[in-house]
């Protein structure tokens, strides 16, 4: 019985060993090709889907929401699309509002720094200051900043240096104050309400003081630290001023309705530093278009993202074109009859 089993095992071994050798030999050949055949081209395979290009991220930090700053943001986003950076296609816009809080502006800047966004758009002086203090490598472009040198954002207007550049909204203060005298030649004093915490506002107040004698006006100031103080500041000037001048102050502009209610009740004309305030109810301004300013800023940002320029080498830009904007309905509410000569040269007349 044992001999019979040994014979069977030997037979199996004789069959299995050649089969094993054949299998090992086949493993060194192209699959399915006979031995000694010419190498075959690799079989065609279905290519893996192309990986979608990574979207860039632009962090937008806006100090507060009001028509002028909103217009600058919308102009920026619209023009970026024309430059090949369309929202949710080539780029993601991460928009955040500081709600007029410097602490919040700093938190937003710190988040953008941690997220390593590709570029920061800072709208208004406080958010620009927060971004510059926080980010030293991420490109920063600002807009709606009155005096970037005074605010400590850039070394010089023509050569900003570091990772920062942008557009200034410095308005023609002298020309705007002259509108008061054109509306009321007998006007002798103008009240300016501004935020004590905004460098850009102090710059405009100083500019008004510098030309006041030339224009034939005296300046009455009222500094505020919160939106709740704006109406009280306006009321404190009743009987002391012949007109109000509202500079491009983010806190006051966001609360302009409080000033307008006093002005309409007391028949005191309001001249503004920018056109969106006129559309909100001020009588007139001679100034810039914030939508166009945002577009101008986008052209600068696009050059940076395309590698065509470095922020520190790009001069801070201003808007050359100014226009006279008049609100006829506001004039009626404040008891003002607008001179025909003023209406004739207006670039835009608002009828609401």
- Per-residue pLDDT tens over the stretch 245-280: 999 999 999 999 999 999 999 999 999 999 999 999
Tell the burial category of 186 from Cβ atoms under 10 Å away from its Cβ (0-12, 13-18, 19+).
Answer: exposed
Q: Is residue 150 domain-shared with residue 239, that is, in the same domain? A: no
Q: Does residue 2 sit within a domain? A: no
**pLDDT tens, residue by residue, 26-84:** 333 333 333 343 444 444 444 444 345 689 999 999 999 999 999 999 999 999 999 99
The residues, any chain, with a CB within 8 Å of residue 252's CB and separated by 6 or more, are 193, 194, 195, 201, 224, 230, 246, 259
Residue 67 lies in a domain: yes
- Whether pLDDT at 135 is above 90: yes
- The confidence score (pLDDT) of residue 53 equals 67
157 and 181: one domain?
no
pTM > 0.85: no
- As a whole number of angstroms, the distance between CA 224 and CA 100 comes to 13
Average pLDDT, the chain: 88
Residues 6+ apart with CB under 8 A from 109: 61, 120, 127, 130, 131, 133, 134, 135
What's the pLDDT score for residue 35?
38
Specify the pairing of strand 323-327 against strand 284-287. antiparallel
Classify residue 200: in a domain, yes or no: yes
Same domain, 130 and 162: yes
Sorting pLDDT into bands at 50, 70 and 90, what band is 17? very low
What mean pLDDT is predicted for residues 87-103? 97
Of 190, 312, 193, nearest to 250 (Cα)?
193
Give CA–CA dist 281/242, Å, rounded: 17
Pick from 29-33, 129-133, 211-215, 240-244: least confident? 29-33
Give yes or no: residues 227 and 165 share one domain. Answer: no
Whether 246 and 301 map to the same domain: the answer is no
What is the extent of the structural domain holding 79? 56-169+290-313
| Shared domain check, 223 and 134 | no
**Helical spans, DSSP H, in 125-283:** 125-134, 173-183, 199-215, 230-235, 250-253, 256-266, 275-280
**pLDDT (mean) for 343-349:** 96
The CATH number assigned to the domain holding 263 equals 3.40.50.2300
Helical (H) or strand (E) element with 194 = strand 189-195
Residues 275-328: tens digit of each pLDDT: 999 999 999 999 889 999 999 999 999 999 999 999 999 999 999 889 999 999
Contact 131, 154 (CB under 8 A): no
Q: What is the pLDDT of residue 321?
A: 83
51 or 175, which is more confident? 175
* 152 is a domain residue: yes
**What pLDDT shows up at residue 351?**
85
């Amino acid at each position: 019985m044992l001999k019979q089993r040994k014979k069977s095992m030997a037979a199996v071994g004789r069959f299995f060993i050649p089969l094993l050798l054949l299998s090992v030999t086949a493993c060194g050949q192209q699959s399915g090709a006979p031995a000694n055949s010419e190498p075959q081209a690799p079989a065609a395979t279905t290519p893996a889907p192309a990986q979608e290009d990574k979207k860039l991220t632009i962090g937008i930090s806006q100090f507060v929401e009001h028509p002028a700053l909103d217009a600058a943001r919308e102009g920026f986003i619209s023009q970026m699309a024309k430059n090949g950076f369309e929202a949710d296609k080539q780029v993601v816009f991460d928009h955040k509002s500081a709600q007029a809080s410097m602490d919040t502006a700093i938190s937003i800047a710190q988040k953008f720094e941690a997220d390593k966004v590709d570029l920061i758009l800072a709208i208004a002086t406080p958010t620009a200051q927060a971004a510059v203090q926080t980010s030293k490598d991420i490109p920063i472009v600002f807009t709606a900043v009155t005096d970037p040198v005074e605010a400590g954002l850039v070394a010089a207007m023509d050569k900003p240096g570091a990772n920062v550049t942008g557009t200034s909204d410095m308005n023609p203060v002298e020309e705007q104050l002259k509108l008061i005298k054109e509306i009321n030649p007998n006007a002798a004093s103008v009240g300016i309400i501004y935020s004590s915490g905004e460098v850009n506002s102090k710059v405009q107040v100083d500019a008004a003081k510098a030309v006041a004698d030339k224009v034939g006006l005296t300046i009455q100031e009222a500094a505020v630290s919160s939106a709740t103080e704006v109406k009280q500041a306006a009321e404190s000037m009743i009987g002391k001023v012949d007109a109000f001048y509202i500079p491009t102050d983010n806190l006051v502009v966001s609360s302009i309705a409080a000033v307008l209610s006093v002005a309409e009740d007391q028949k005191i004309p309001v001249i503004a530093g920018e056109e969106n305030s006129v559309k909100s109810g001020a009588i007139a301004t001679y100034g810039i278009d914030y939508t166009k300013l945002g577009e101008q800023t986008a052209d600068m940002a696009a050059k940076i993202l395309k590698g065509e320029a470095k922020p520190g080498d790009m001069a801070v830009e201003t808007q050359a074109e100014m226009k006279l904007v008049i609100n006829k309905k506001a004039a009626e509410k404040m008891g003002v009859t607008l001179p025909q000569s003023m209406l004739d040269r207006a670039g835009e007349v608002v009828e609401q």
